[in-house]
């Protein structure tokens, strides 16, 4: 898999060796190496080209900083190879397709996670649930129309 960025000065590749790589299109020099635990099936930039999304045979989708190569998120839940991952138009969600026969949707904005939870929940989250999902944000009851949890 090979993709050029919008300006045509960087090339993004995905490889069976477990890496996605960014290359300088002029010099051919490797700029970044993004490593999974198995072959990388798909890699793509977001619209601003400041993030890279990868899909892998290790069953994960990962989000990377396109400038530093820092891993920003690992999205899991598939039980087999992930063939493709895409951002939706406004990049509020990531969709992935897997050999396990499923398509998954991952939220990229905390407010969307909260709205989805409130639409389906019967109560507010406990402190432990909040900590596991919201990663360091201070606890708050999020669903005004639902009972609180002691």
In this structure, the answer to whether residues 134 and 70 fall within a common structural domain is: no
Q: Give per-residue pLDDT as tens, 50-106.
A: 999 999 999 999 999 999 999 999 999 999 999 999 999 999 999 999 999 999 999
Total count of domains within the chain:
2
Q: How far is CA 51 from CA 8, 46, 95, in A?
A: 16, 6, 15
CATH of the domain at 91: 2.130.10.10
Rounded Cα gap, residues 24 and 34, in angstroms? 15
In terms of residue numbers, what domain contains 89? 2-108
In this structure, the answer to whether residues 23 and 37 fall within a common structural domain is: yes
* Per-residue pLDDT at 9: 92
pTM of the shown model: 0.80
In this structure, the answer to whether residues 95 and 130 fall within a common structural domain is: no
In this structure, the answer to whether residues 127 and 97 fall within a common structural domain is: no
In this structure, the answer to whether residues 24 and 90 fall within a common structural domain is: yes
């Amino acid at each position: 898999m090979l993709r050029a960025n919008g300006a045509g000065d960087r090339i993004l590749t995905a490889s069976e060796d477990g890496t996605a790589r960014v290359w300088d299109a002029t010099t051919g020099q490797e700029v970044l190496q993004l490593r999974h635990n198995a072959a990388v099936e798909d890699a793509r930039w977001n619209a601003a080209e400041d993030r890279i999304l990868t899909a892998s045979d290790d069953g994960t989708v990962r989000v990377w900083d396109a400038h530093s190569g820092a891993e920003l998120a690992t999205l899991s839940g598939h039980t087999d190879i992930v063939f493709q991952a895409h951002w939706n138009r406004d990049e509020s969600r990531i969709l992935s397709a897997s050999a396990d026969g499923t398509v998954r949707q991952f939220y990229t904005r905390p407010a969307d996670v909260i709205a989805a939870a409130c639409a389906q929940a019967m109560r507010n989250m406990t402190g432990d649930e909040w900590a596991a999902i919201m990663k360091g944000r201070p606890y708050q009851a999020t669903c005004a129309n639902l009972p609180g949890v002691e």
